[in-house]
Chain A
Amino acid sequence: MKKKDGKFSLGSLGQLTIPLIAIALLVVFNLIRDPGFFSIGISHNSNGNAVLSGNIISIINGASELAILAMGMTLVTAACGGQDISVGAAAAIAGSVFVKVLKSGSGISGGTVILAFLCSCIVAMLFGCFNGTLVAVFKIQPMIATLILYTCGRSIAYWINGGATPTVTSSIVNGIGSFIPGIPIPTPVIIVVVMALLFKLLFHFTALRLFTQSVGINGSAARLNGIDARFIKLLSFIILGVCVSVSGCIGVSRLGLINHETLLLDIEMDTILAVAIGGNSLGGGKFKLSGSIIGAYVIQTLTITLYAMKVSSTDVKAYKAIVIILLVVIGSPVIKERFGRWISHLRQRRVKVSAKGAEEG
């Protein structure tokens, strides 16, 4: 898992400490509970392909949508100092468009899938634009601005579907949601890696990271240094739109149907949580994408662990809440400060004792 992320060096751990500790604790806990929890096997799925299976795979696979959304959300959080709570609803819209385009033709070929994805991408980016305009131009807080789409997004998705929950049967779509024949790794995982690489390239070949952080930390100063803060904020929402459409399409492909009510339900909350667990300030400014990605896997590991402990899917939330609170309490500034003071107190005492010893000697 740590290797998979592969984006941090030991020197820059800092804000990643807590999510990494969390994941390590969960791993240790599971190993004690069930030594075989993390065994990876190869099994054959219904199509007869050899594919990887096991809890690790289902964690990594299941967190895909979350991880992708968390990347986009990190950017929005950093630039705007607020969060988009409409990602789940927007993903439902994107998924609906995806299905709508797929079903509009006679058959489903590779071309139609790409076309459908592009259409859903454009729609999601447009909705991102809408949110972004409210935030960047009208200076409305992100949470309030995106409350609008949160309220009506799933209904819009329902409307696009014409009041039904259409299904798609296609080997290509199935391949996106589960496995491509011949590749034992779940396709969503590959998509996450691709998205992470795309983000890395984006930050490498543009100054987006510097500009986003500047805007998020001090918008006024950024403006006086010639940065177009509005554009940066808008851009962050558009990029999130792409993430939304990707995860929406993955979600649809997994099930082979679009259900506007249940597709990626409550994922906005998990996404924001992933960003926060990753050590990013929800108030904007400096950010670490790798933190959010690890955060997403922390949440998914927790969920799968609870499932493995036979906690029912509806009850999981309560246990999850307790773990979240523990995590944020450990990471809270007050606790950190208290802890730091305690450490320095100990250190001082040691210095004093040694100084005394020296004097006496």
Chain B
Amino acid sequence: MHEYLLTMRGIEKRFPGVLALNGVDFTLRSGEIHALMGENGAGKSTLIKVLTGVYQMDGGEIRLEGTPMVIRSPQDAQNKGISTVYQEITLCPNLTVAENIYIGRGKHPWVRQRDLEKRADEILSRLGIPARSTQLLGSCSLAVQQMVAIARAVDMNCKVLILDEPTSSLDDKEVKRLFDLMRDLKSKDVGIIFVTHFLDQVYEVSDRITVLRNGELVGEYLTEELPQIQLVSKMIGKELEELSNLGETEEKEIGKKEVFYEAKGLASSDALPFDFSIRKGEVNGFTGLLGSGRSESVRAIFGADKVTGGAVKIGGKPVKILRPVDAMKHGIGYLAEDRKRDGIIAELSVRENIILALQVMNGMFKPISRNESEAFADEYIKVLNIKTASRETPVGSLSGGNQQKVILARWLLTHPDYLILDEPTRGIDVGTKLEIQKLVLKLAEEGVSVTFISSEVEEMLRTCSRLIVMRDRHVVGELTGKDLNQTQVMKTIAGGEA
């Protein structure tokens, strides 16, 4: 057996105007879990896509067990033993679970359905995946769909398994099950490439770490020899002392300020009734696991889902917020969780994206003139330090962090009294994360109320003065002052018994 399962040498990939990968090396041994780390735009996904045949590399060499090879297409990669489970579910919702496991494989022109279903059921039960083979994939939960994707890869006896952000839609229990599965595969000499944003998970499960930055290789390290703080600094390329401290908010002052928004028994088609209020200049947050109802709750505040009940007061006066436009008219802004789906208008320019919300508030018949909009765009590109070729660049071609800044600019331009930020820092680089956190605190100082949601509790502890904890779609606790620490939050999320 060859020493290295997979070696990639001097991989180069060019997109119009960008060198996405510049001579990157990557080595994978069999029976190891190898974490691939880097900020957004570092080139992780490009490298993965080159390896899986989605992109063709412009230079370099890939060897599998010592043999040089060219990977032409995803199918080609599969046939050669390289399987991938992507962050977004890449299965077909209109086919059954069994079909999803077996489609696109083999050469036989006939499909032996019963046979496949039997085999699929076997592998599902072996991996402990709660799904039936005859079930339509679209009727499974996201987590189960993800596991079906892994089952598919496992069933293909892959030599190299690539997991691209597999844990982002899983809860703790499911993550644990996934890790067990990964260790199981590792003991069977499968080489696993693990891409994730969660540092803890990297340290929990991986043996080796390769770090990329700006399309270049930073280095390969043994996990046990690389402390977490060093990993972060290698990823962002500078020592960030700022990371640890951001300044303290003074709760006492906030306690005196008047209440801006108050809801009693607010409920929507997706959120159970809950009470909520926020004062002027306060930063609070909803926390809880994914699916705990935190996003649904803030969506209800903004009227993004169908509001089904509750009494809302703004500045003490009862108001009705049934649609997003109502909320906007009352000075509420909402940065949605899913940037691609609910945030950017990808093909429109940065300028048009920035003025969008303000234009909606002005109404159809008062268009913002070209000059005005250019001035607005220039101003916010400068203030938020948005990296874009010009204000007329389509926003879709910007990096994730800069897209997020454009959406922030869109809401800041409306001069909101209350800004709801749902996962504003997800999937963006550490530097921008920090900028956004700082911005939140600055806004609060100026008297804007902010509700902040993040998957990273640490980040919320740094910015919020009050945390509302949710579990199973119910509010289960509210933490302020001394209780605002990681252990207490975890305890409340877990149900207090820990």
A residues touching B (Cβ–Cβ < 8 Å)?
204-208, 210-211, 213-214, 217-218, 220-228, 285-286, 340
Q: B363: which A residues are within 8 A, CB to CB? A: 207
Q: Given A225-B356, A226-B328, A227-B360, are A217 and B348 also a contact pair (CB < 8 Å)?
A: yes
Q: Name the contact of B345 in the complex, choosing from A205, A207, A222, A340 (C-beta under 8 A).
A: A222
Complex Cα distance, B428 from A247, in Å, reads: 52
Smallest CB separation, A223 vs chain B (Å): 7
B323, CB-defined interface residue at 8 Å: yes
Flag if A223 contacts B343 (CB, 8 Å): no
Complex Cα distance, B16 from A340, in Å, reads: 10
Q: A211: which B residues are within 8 A, CB to CB? A: 359-360, 364
Nearest opposing residue in chain B for A348, CB measure:
B14
Main secondary structure of the interface of A (DSSP, over half): helix
Q: B304: which A residues are within 8 A, CB to CB? A: 223-224
B324, CB-defined interface residue at 8 Å: yes
Complex Cα distance, B328 from A223, in Å, reads: 12
Flag if B367 contacts A204 (CB, 8 Å): yes
Flag if B346 contacts A225 (CB, 8 Å): no
Nearest opposing residue in chain B for A231, CB measure:
B364
Complex Cα distance, B365 from A221, in Å, reads: 21
Flag if A207 contacts B367 (CB, 8 Å): yes
Pairs A-B, 6 closest by C-beta atoms: A226-B325, A226-B360, A207-B367, A226-B324, A226-B328, A217-B345
B19, CB-defined interface residue at 8 Å: no
Q: Given A217-B346, A286-B347, are A224 and B365 also a contact pair (CB < 8 Å)?
A: no
Flag if B323 contacts A226 (CB, 8 Å): yes
Q: Name the contact of A225 in the complex, choosing from B357, B362, B365 (C-beta under 8 A).
A: B357
- The stretch of B122-130, B176-184, B334-342 that contacts the partner chain: B334-342
8 contacts between A and B (CB under 8 A): A205-B365, A206-B365, A207-B363, A211-B360, A214-B348, A222-B345, A225-B360, A228-B325
B70, CB-defined interface residue at 8 Å: no
Q: B368: which A residues are within 8 A, CB to CB? A: 207
Across the A-B interface, how many residue pairs have beta carbons closer than 8 Å?
78
Flag if B343 contacts A221 (CB, 8 Å): yes
Q: B302: which A residues are within 8 A, CB to CB? A: 224
B344, CB-defined interface residue at 8 Å: yes
Flag if B323 contacts A218 (CB, 8 Å): no
Q: Given A217-B346, A226-B361, A286-B348, are A210 and B324 also a contact pair (CB < 8 Å)?
A: no
Smallest CB separation, A78 vs chain B (Å): 11
Complex Cα distance, B341 from A228, in Å, reads: 17
Q: Given A207-B364, A286-B347, are A220 and B356 also a contact pair (CB < 8 Å)?
A: no
Smallest CB separation, B345 vs chain A (Å): 5
B352, CB-defined interface residue at 8 Å: yes
Flag if A213 contacts B348 (CB, 8 Å): yes
Q: A204-B367, A206-B364, A221-B344 are in contact. List 4 more A-B contacts (CB 8 A).
A: A217-B345, A218-B341, A222-B345, A286-B347
Smallest CB separation, A124 vs chain B (Å): 22
Flag if A285 contacts B347 (CB, 8 Å): yes
Q: A340: which B residues are within 8 A, CB to CB? A: 16
Flag if B324 contacts A223 (CB, 8 Å): yes
Flag if A205 contacts B367 (CB, 8 Å): yes
Complex Cα distance, B340 from A220, in Å, reads: 10
Smallest CB separation, B13 vs chain A (Å): 14
Chain B window 363-382, contacts with chain A (Cβ cutoff 8 Å), 1 for yes, 0 for no: 11111100000000000000
Q: A286: which B residues are within 8 A, CB to CB? A: 347-348
Complex Cα distance, B352 from A222, in Å, reads: 12
Flag if B365 contacts A214 (CB, 8 Å): no
Flag if A220 contacts B342 (CB, 8 Å): yes
Flag if A224 contacts B324 (CB, 8 Å): yes
Q: A218: which B residues are within 8 A, CB to CB? A: 341, 344-346
Q: Name the contact of A221 in the complex, choosing from B325, B336, B364 (C-beta under 8 A).
A: B336
Complex Cα distance, B343 from A218, in Å, reads: 9
Smallest CB separation, A79 vs chain B (Å): 13
